[in-house]
Amino acid sequence: MPTKRTNKGSQTAGENVYSFLRKSIIELHVKPGLAINLKDLSDFLKVSRSPIRDALIQLEKDGLVTTAPQKGTFVSKIDIQRVSDERFLRACIEERIVEEFLNIYTERDIDRMQKIIDEQKTAAAAGDARAFLRLDDKMHAVFFEATNHPFCLNAVMNMSSHYYRIRLLSLSEPDIQEQTLNQHREIMDLVLKKDAEKLKKLLDIHIIEKGAEVNKLKAKHPEIFTGVVTPPPAKRGIWETDFLKSR
């Protein structure tokens, strides 16, 4: 589980609770569809229910929790249509960013990309899907940072919570990790060649064309995707579990 951070540092209790819950949900420590029991969560975090309610309101706006009248609050299941929209949004923005990147990148940017690929190989060998995905985001962040588009990077990251979860599920499979590494190597090669046309096509494959992966995940874990009507019953101790590792 992510580290609990409550009533520490410059963040308020509500901000700490929000950060903890968001990380728990998007990194799949908590299984999509599970009920959230306010008392259990309050006891676990050792905070009052007020900052928890505030955090849940924000998480509902983010699409990460769902409130059902007379049933309670649940960790949102993964919405495939939203995943598709988030992929599309990211691809549209990133393709324009990469066009700029090809005209201004430096040797330092290439060195950063190579270092990230090497670190991804280490994460893959250790079977650490979360570290692998964080490095995946660092790889793509090179484009945004080199072109001085931090706002666009933050927008893409903040609006990709459902996409992030399905990426994490995919990247927990060794063959998908290897495929991703190979695509990153090819991306770097095309950057060096300044081949904008081939790079755009590869980014489409890398980001958008994931139908087979999605279908495989839906078949393996149908209960965590939207479409299953009845949510699982409330379960005590969900904040001490780790769904990704228990599959």
- What confidence category does residue 13 fall into, taking pLDDT thresholds of 50, 70 and 90? confident
Q: Say what the pTM is.
A: 0.86
- What confidence category does residue 69 fall into, taking pLDDT thresholds of 50, 70 and 90? confident
Residue 26 tokens, joined: 């998007």
> Where exactly does CATH 1.10.10.10 map onto the chain?
13-77+228-246
> Where exactly does CATH 1.20.120.530 map onto the chain?
80-220
Distance CA 199, CA 191 (A): 7
**11-20, 109-118, 182-191: segment of lowest average pLDDT:** 11-20
At 70 the pLDDT is 82
Which amino acid is it at 111? Answer: D
Residue 233 tokens, joined: 């019953």
Q: What is the mean pLDDT of residues 181-196?
A: 96
User: Could you confirm whether domain 80-220 is CATH 1.10.287.1080?
Assistant: no
CATH class of 13-77+228-246: mainly alpha
**43-52, 98-107, 198-207, 225-234: segment of lowest average pLDDT:** 225-234
